[in-house]
Amino acid sequence: MRRMLIVLLVASLLLTMGAPVAWAQEEAGPGLTPDSPFYFLKVWIEKIQLAFTFAPEKKVELLSKLAEKRVAEARKMVEKGKPELAERCLERYEKHLGKAQEMAEKTKEEKAEEVYEKVAEATSKHVEVLERVLEKVPEQAKGAIEHAIEVSQHGHERALEALQKKGIRVREKHELKQEVKQEEEQEQGQEQEQEQEQEQGQEQVQKRIGEQSQERMGESRR
């Protein structure tokens, strides 16, 4: 078990160091969640990714992607009935977002517009998702969700102020709502496909077991 764990760690390290930018650009989904015994690997890889991302604009992009993953994890934990773990995800979300805003201010002038536009769009999407999560959580967990929404809204407003000074338009709220809805439908479709594949696999196994039983019965009769 220890040997396998070491292999996984080394492999993760090599993959991480080899493609930091590509990893940051992949579609954000929950992936490993805090209730997984291997979640620490995910956290460890993310820390290394941040350590090996040096340009402020690239670090903002990565931190925004990590923040999006924390929101996805929080939503998943709420769906599983684990609000305590959802709150932990949101605490890390706020740290990622705060750091992203800090790095955005250090971005070079020629990159600033692009960076602030990404932050504005990302935080608007986060608010949309968190508002949906808020409708599903028990009362004791609503405080953490509401605070995360406030942090997102504040980050969005700061980014908008920076963009307005430059005369840049970001996508309207209804456009982002539609995008969030499409992403959720896509995730649900993928989950349904996985469930169907599992059911088909189980049916094939049962069918094979039945065939083997019939073969054995036929042999015993002979």
* Separation of CA 123 from chain center: 14
CB atoms within 10 A of CB 80: 12
Q: pLDDT tens across 184-222, in order? A: 777 777 777 777 777 777 777 777 777 777 777 766 665
Q: Which residues contact 115 (CB under 8 A, 6 or more apart)?
A: 56, 57, 60, 61, 104, 107
In the chain, domain spans? 2-170
The helix/strand/coil state of 81 is coil
pLDDT at 179: 67
Q: Taking Cα atoms as reference points, which of 75, 78, 51, 76 lies closest to residue 63?
A: 51
**Residue whose tokens read 């396998």:** 4
Please state the pTM of the whole predicted model: 0.63
